[in-house]
Amino acid sequence: MSKKTGGLWLILLLMSFPVRAADYFKWPPVSSAFDSVASQVEYGFIHHAGREQRKTWIKMLDSLSACRKGEAGRVMQWRSLYWKARTLLIGGDRMASDSVLSEALALVDSLHWPYDYMRMLHLEASLRKESLPDTYIALKGIEDFYRQARDSFMLAHACIDIGTVLTEIGDYGKAFGYMQEAGDIYRDLGETVYETKNRLNVANLLYLNGNYETSASMLKQLLEDSVCKEDAGFLIRVLLLLSEEGGDPDSMYAARAYGLARRYQASAFEKYAAVYLGDWYKEAGASDSALRMYRHAGEIDVRIPDALELLRLRHLAEVYGALGRDKEALRCWTRYAALKDTVDEEDNLLKIHQAEWRSVIARYEMDLLYSRERAAYKMKLSWMIWGGLILFLLALCYVFWKNRQEEKAKKKLKEIENAELGHRLENEALQKKYLEVELASRERELTSNQLILAEHKNELQSVENLLRKEAAQGGVNEGAFAALDGLLKQYLGKKDEWALFRVQFEKVHPAFFQKLKQHCPDLTEGELRLCAYLSLGMESKQIARMLSLQPDSIKKSRYRLRQKLRLETKDSIEDFLRRFL
């Protein structure tokens, strides 16, 4: 028999795996009571709960949703419809399931409850396969959602569904990749049962890809697995696929599958097994047994793929011919020829459709890749722009911070300079004040010394006058008088108070007389002396006493001096003279 005739039908029957509840209940919570029942429903699909039990759960979900109002009530209502649709699908009523699912989709709020919406779309993709490319595109979106939602269990289911679609369009290589990914996910999750059953999908795709020995080896390993031994339906599928691949005749895979199918009253499996067992008998030369199996397969009222029916008719005609029953053989060959034309036409049409579907999917994949690359480019560009902006802002902040630091440093330096200047000015002020105090002290000392000298001179003059008076009256010895008078004249005539004063004055105010002479060159020595006394702040009486003159004479001298200095009445001669100090 052909290696490519029967592989496709198995993939369509293998794995409508139920959703696991316990550890993989990803539905957003809405009500503790409702969620508890919904979890039992999901768990029930795993363990193949009975039809009545499922009906009971659905009634409970309906009752709970009817008791709630508002958003929570609507959520419970569409979830209840979703589970009802799944229950109807399990029962084989696809039309009713599709109708109920449409009601749920009309109610669901896809914006705020995206997980609910995606689960419904996933079920819809399993129900409606009018356009395989559309189904593939929908499943790809569902796959991306599960990846983002980190729902690994449902992601594995989506991978299996995508692999199934790819198998139907003849893209076995990509289908194999998705089935392997699903197996890896189940293995990582510790789901041994699901991983083991998915190996049947992998083995079937290995067979369709031409890896017959690897496929047969994997199927034989499955026969020894405890999961396979405990699940009669799964065991029958493995045996049928081994029978289709033409396994070891001594193993009698078809016979085992036929016996199990009859025991469990699985009519579809029984029909497949009867055809494969007939092939085995035919190859073994047991034409009567082969005829019985082929005819029995024809009597079972279950539709099988036309390719397998075509194979049954051809082998049946050959068996009739081998038994010499030419009329029956001719009748079978006639039916075979008629069906073959139809099958060939359908195969050619299918190949055309598969090519078109692959082309549509390839364009979709290219568009998807382009959009992802474009999105990645935009993201990269966005990151670059944001990165550049952040770097610019950081640079701006650094410049601002640097300027602030420099301003602070300049301000600090200015403060230090101002402080130093303040200290310097303070020191200069103190020094100036000290000099002023020192100058004032020297001026006072100079004035005081001059006054003391003048006072001493006046007293000595008084003594001389008294001595002369006493001598005139004869009260003093002439010799003593002459001696004393000589001493007094020697002392009074010896010292020049003005010369001494000028020397001391110029030590304190070195340029006074020079500046004054430059301003008024015609000043006499006496006027210079008067200017010096006035600059020191001496009063007219003090000056008169030092010069042994009357105060009025000093006043007249002041007046003449003002005229020489060209001072106005309002001007103070003392202030004017201090400008030259």
- Whole-number pLDDT of residue 346: 86
332 and 320 in contact (C-beta within 8 Å)? yes
If DSSP codes are grouped into helix, strand and coil, which group holds residue 376?
A: helix
Neighbouring CB atoms inside 10 A of 203's CB total 27
If DSSP codes are grouped into helix, strand and coil, which group holds residue 353?
A: helix
Length of the chain: 581
Going residue by residue through the chain, which has 581 residues, state the pLDDT in tens, using 9 for 90 and above.
444 444 433 333 333 344 444 456 789 999 889 888 888 887 776 556 677 887 888 889 888 888 888 899 999 999 999 999 988 888 888 899 999 999 999 999 999 999 999 999 999 998 876 789 999 999 999 999 999 999 998 999 999 999 999 999 999 999 999 999 999 999 998 889 889 999 999 999 999 998 989 998 999 999 999 989 888 989 999 998 888 765 555 458 889 999 999 998 989 899 999 999 998 899 888 999 999 999 999 999 888 888 888 889 999 999 999 999 999 999 999 999 998 888 888 889 888 988 889 898 889 889 888 888 888 888 888 888 988 889 888 988 888 888 888 888 888 888 888 878 777 877 777 777 776 767 666 666 766 666 666 666 767 777 777 777 777 776 666 677 677 767 766 666 545 677 777 887 888 888 888 888 888 888 888 888 888 888 888 888 888 877 778 888 888 888 888 888 888 888 888 888 888 87
Angle at 49 between CA 44 and CA 54, to 5 degrees: 80
Give the separation between CA 541 and CA 545, rounded to whole angstroms. 6
At 222, which helix (H) or strand (E)? helix 212-223
If DSSP codes are grouped into helix, strand and coil, which group holds residue 87?
A: helix
Cβ neighbours of residue 127 closer than 8 Å, sequence gap 6 or more: 89, 94, 97, 98, 101
Pull the structure tokens for residue 558: 């002041």
Give the separation between CA 281 and CA 322, rounded to whole angstroms. 13
Give the separation between CA 163 and CA 176, rounded to whole angstroms. 7
Give the separation between CA 498 and CA 412, rounded to whole angstroms. 58
If DSSP codes are grouped into helix, strand and coil, which group holds residue 163?
A: helix
DSSP state of 318: H
DSSP state of 249: G
Question: What's the distance, Cα to Cα, between the start and end of the chain in Å?
Answer: 139
94 and 131 in contact (C-beta within 8 Å)? no
Give the separation between CA 272 and CA 250, rounded to whole angstroms. 19
Nearest to 231 by CA among 182, 185, 194, 203: 194
- Whole-number pLDDT of residue 166: 94
Nearest to 167 by CA among 213, 205, 212: 205
C-alpha gyration radius of the chain: 65
If DSSP codes are grouped into helix, strand and coil, which group holds residue 444?
A: helix
Residue with tokens 């029942």: 37
548 and 461 in contact (C-beta within 8 Å)? yes
Q: Is 150 left (phi over 0), alpha (psi -120 to 50) or beta?
A: left
Q: What is the dihedral of CA 262, 343, 9, 311, to 10 degrees?
A: 40
Give the separation between CA 389 and CA 382, rounded to whole angstroms. 10
Question: What are the CB-based long-range contacts (under 8 Å, 24+) for 388-397?
Answer: none
Domain spans of the chain, in order of start:
501-581
Pull the structure tokens for residue 422: 């303040």
Give the separation between CA 414 and CA 292, rounded to whole angstroms. 116
Please write down the HEC assignment for all residues of 2-66: CCCCCHHHHHHHHCCCCCCCCCCCCCCCCCHHHHHHHHHHHHHHHCCCCHHHHHHHHHHHHHHHH
DSSP state of 476: S
14 and 204 in contact (C-beta within 8 Å)? yes
447 and 538 in contact (C-beta within 8 Å)? yes
Task: Please state which CATH number belongs to domain 501-581.
Answer: 1.10.10.10
Give the separation between CA 114 and CA 218, rounded to whole angstroms. 39
Which DSSP string do the residues of 258-294 spell out, in sequence order?
A: HHHHHHTT-HHHHHHHHHHHHHHHHHHT-HHHHHHHH
Give the separation between CA 241 and CA 3, rounded to whole angstroms. 11
Residue 398 CA to chain centroid, in angstroms? Answer: 22
Give the separation between CA 93 and CA 85, rounded to whole angstroms. 9
pTM (predicted TM-score): 0.64
User: Helix (H) and strand (E) counts for the chain?
Assistant: 25, 0
For the chain, the maximum distance between any two Cα atoms, rounded to a whole number of angstroms, is 210
Burial class (CB in 10 A: 0-12, 13-18, 19+), 533: buried
Question: How many CA atoms are closer than 13 Å to the CA of 403, on its beta-carbon side?
Answer: 5
